[in-house]
Structure 1
Amino acid sequence: MYKLVFFVPASHKEAVKEAVFNAGAGRIGNYDQCCWECKGSGQFRPQPGANPFIGTDKKLEFVEEFRVEMVCEDAIVKAAVTALKLAHPYEEPAYDLWKLECV
């Protein structure tokens, strides 16, 4: 089991969650579409050669984003990450993938 954590702008939060849920993430027992989310601020500065969804080269950008967390079974983790990348508006979406120990 893994925990998938990703950061997404509010404008695309539901679409990205739907794509990752459709890949099979967010299932706990007899429940599906389970996640935790909270609002925060992200920052980044595009470098030359980047193709940012928001912002311009060399200018520091601040954006309201959501942190979304959900569990992901071993068998579908690659599909969930692929779905995240395809649905996310950013050229390089930020995400973490943590291996969980189940007891």
Structure 2
Amino acid sequence: MTVFALLRVTPITGEDVTADVAAAVEALEEYDVEYETTPMATTVEAEDVEELFAACAGAHQAVDAAEVQTLVQVDDKREKSMSASDKVDAVETELGREARSDRE
């Protein structure tokens, strides 16, 4: 089984949030998950939903702000195992090219 989450942890500070977002991403290192950070969110991949939610909670708790908004969208593959890179590879195969605009 593979479980994915789109994780967005947003400190509401009115200031630059880079350090807080970095703290949330760094917190993921404490869990048995794979992750990739993009400009808008972080994709988190785990073998079970408990580890995934624990990692998301850890990222949320790592932010030192008076208000933190966290969005978690879960895709729970219960009957097959597929990695995040497998999902991207499938789209790129269908496209016949990389799934990004800055490709060479």
Q: TM-score when scaled to structure 1?
A: 0.52
Q: Does 1:93 align with 2:101?
A: no
Residues 91, 12 of structure 1: CA spacing in aligned structure 2 closer, same or farther, 3 A cutoff? closer
- Runs of 5+ in structure 2 lacking a partner? 10-16, 83-104
Point out which structure has higher relative CO (alpha carbons under 8 A, 6+ apart). Answer: 1
Query: Which has more radius of gyration?
Result: 2
Q: Give the secondary structure class of the aligned counterpart of 1:24.
A: coil
Q: Please identify which structure carries the higher helix content.
A: 2
Please give the root-mean-square deviation of Cα atoms over the aligned residues, in Å.
2.3
**Structure 1: gaps spanning 5 or more residues:** 27-34, 40-65
Please tell me the residue identity of whatever aligns with 1:3: F
Aligned to 2:56: 81
Larger strand percent: 1
Provide TM-score, normalisation by structure 2.
0.51
Q: How many residues align?
A: 69
Letter in 1 for 2:70: P
Q: 1:34-53 CA deviation, whole Å, 9 max, x = no partner?
A: x32222xxxxxxxxxxxxxx
